[in-house]
């Protein structure tokens, strides 16, 4: 590989306190020394995900402490490595990268992570798609595995017009699993109908609860994936038949999960949680490599993420505001440029 000049410093987004995007700034940081199993990635792009917003507000269960660089996932090229064989094998490769449990994240021109969190990208996968290839795609595949393991023919999902929701819906269509999609706006209904979704319910309509109950009982749906929490969790529990389960993986409502105790006690219904990090940690290396290979094959169609707009690193605050106003219709992507300061 041609010798590459590593800069002494780089621009990074820094969060000073867990009080939201207003506490972000850009600063120059020195390139750190690498431990044996670490790699230095020149970052190409990083999406803004709901988990990133939760992190900025201090609502994400993390060991990271300010001041810290946010950003859980992204993509780029490995420019330098530590001395371990696993790290050195990644030199010069295009990778999807995840931030470590502690320390800085991906919203920077360069980032350091461990070799196991730098996942080589197939040549058919662009760096932009690679930047969005982990959190949502692996979650969608994990949900499919859960549905299959439980023998579910029909499942319910909330926030169905989100990137993950549309991704999961497309994946289930190819796998012969029916999805009851729940959205909040009429425009979201139209969006999913154009995608070919069979069942789309608008939670803002007055007859939503009855419609949800009718369709859940009609198709015997006993599994729901809930990204919203709050009162919607209660509506899901009430609507589904006995021995049903709601799996909560997000809290877009910023409210506590609600449920009728009688439903849990007398109808044997349940609520549990899903965290991708924990789910992947339970897989051995071969299992993880298998799911990663499958993910990349599906990134061009079922697991593809649409990009609504791109922002340079220096406009991170504007990018977050844009994303908060419209979290459907495609991802907001941060693209890295040299020496961008605010």
Single pTM value for the model: 0.93
pLDDT of residue 339: 38
What fold characterizes domain 9-132+305-335?
Quinone Oxidoreductase; Chain A, domain 1 (3.90.180)
Confidence of residue 62 (pLDDT cuts 50, 70, 90): confident
Rounded CA gap, 65 and 134, in Å? 23
- As a whole-number percent, the residues of the chain with pLDDT over 70 amount to 97
Q: What are phi and psi of 311, to 5 degrees?
A: -130, 145
Mean pLDDT along residues 333-338? 83
- Two structure tokens written together for 270: 């349940």
| Nearest CA-CA partner of 223 in 243, 249, 201, 251 | 243
Largest CA distance in the chain: 67
Range 19-31 average pLDDT: 95
Q: In the numeric block, which tokens belong to residue 248? A: 């909560």
What letters, b where the CB count within 10 A reaches 16 and e where it falls short, cover 199-209?
bbbbbeeeebe
Q: Which of 100-109, 227-236, 283-292 is predicted with the least confidence, judged by mean pLDDT?
A: 283-292
DSSP state of 13: E
SS3 label, residue 30: strand
For residues 177-186, average pLDDT: 97
What tens digit of pLDDT does each residue of 199-251 get?
A: 999 999 999 999 999 999 999 999 999 999 999 999 999 999 999 999 999 99
Query: Which class does domain 136-277 fall in?
Result: alpha beta
Name the pairing type of β-strands 110-114 and 94-98: unpaired
Each domain of the chain, given as residue ranges in start order, spans 9-132+305-335, 136-277
Which pLDDT belongs to residue 315?
Answer: 97
CB 76 within 8 Å of CB 43: yes
SS3 at position 10? strand
Mean pLDDT of 296-301: 93
Mean local confidence (pLDDT), 260-282: 95
> For residue 2, is pLDDT > 60?
no
pLDDT (0 to 100) of residue 337: 65
Backbone angles phi, psi at 212, to 5 degrees: -65, -45
Q: Do domains 9-132+305-335 and 136-277 have the same CATH topology?
A: no
pLDDT value for 342: 36
Asked if pLDDT for residue 77 goes beyond 80, the answer is yes
Kind and range of the H or E run holding 322: helix 316-325
Instruction: Work out whether the CA dihedral 32, 38, 42, 47 comes out positive or negative.
Output: negative
How deeply is 29 buried, as exposed, middle or buried, from its count of CB atoms within 10 A (0-12, 13-18, 19+)?
Answer: middle
Residue 317 has pLDDT above 90, yes or no: yes
Whether 319 contacts 48, CB under 8 Å: yes
Average pLDDT, the chain: 94
């Amino acid at each position: 590989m041609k010798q590459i000049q590593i800069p002494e410093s780089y621009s990074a987004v820094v969060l000073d306190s867990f009080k939201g995007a207003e506490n972000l700034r850009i600063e120059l940081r020195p390139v750190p020394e690498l431990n044996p199993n670490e790699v230095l990635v020149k970052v190409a792009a990083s999406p803004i995900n709901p988990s990133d917003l939760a992190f900025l507000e201090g609502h994400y269960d993390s060991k990271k402490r300010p001041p810290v660089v946010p950003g859980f996932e992204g993509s780029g090229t490995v420019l330098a490595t530590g001395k371990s064989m696993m790290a050195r094998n990644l030199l010069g490769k295009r990778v999807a990268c995840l931030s470590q449990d502690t320390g800085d994240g991906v919203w920077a021109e360069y980032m350091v992570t461990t070799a196991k969190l730098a996942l080589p990208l197939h040549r058919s996968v662009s760096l932009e798609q690679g930047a969005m290839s982990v959190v949502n795609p692996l979650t969608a595949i994990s949900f499919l595995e859960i549905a299959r393991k439980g023998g579910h023919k029909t499942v319910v999902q909330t926030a169905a017009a989100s990137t993950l929701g549309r991704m999961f819906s497309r994946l289930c269509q190819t796998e012969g699993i029916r999805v009851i999609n729940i959205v909040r706006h009429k425009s979201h209904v139209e969006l999913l109908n154009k995608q070919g979704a069979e069942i789309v319910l608008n939670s803002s309509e007055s007859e939503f609860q009855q419609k949800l109950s009718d369709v859940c009982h009609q198709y015997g749906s006993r599994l729901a994936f809930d990204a919203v929490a709050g009162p919607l969790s209660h509506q899901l529990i009430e609507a589904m038949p006995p021995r049903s389960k709601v799996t909560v993986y997000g809290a877009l409502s910023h409210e506590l999960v609600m449920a009728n105790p009688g439903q849990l006690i007398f109808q044997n219904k349940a609520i549990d949680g899903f965290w991708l990090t924990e789910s992947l940690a339970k897989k051995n290396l071969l299992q993880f490599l298998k799911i990663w290979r499958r993910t990349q094959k599906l990134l061009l169609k079922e697991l593809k993420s649409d990009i609504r707009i791109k922002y340079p690193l220096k406009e991170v605050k504007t990018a977050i505001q844009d994303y908060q106003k419209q979290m459907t219709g495609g991802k907001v992507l941060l693209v890295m440029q040299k020496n961008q300061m605010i």
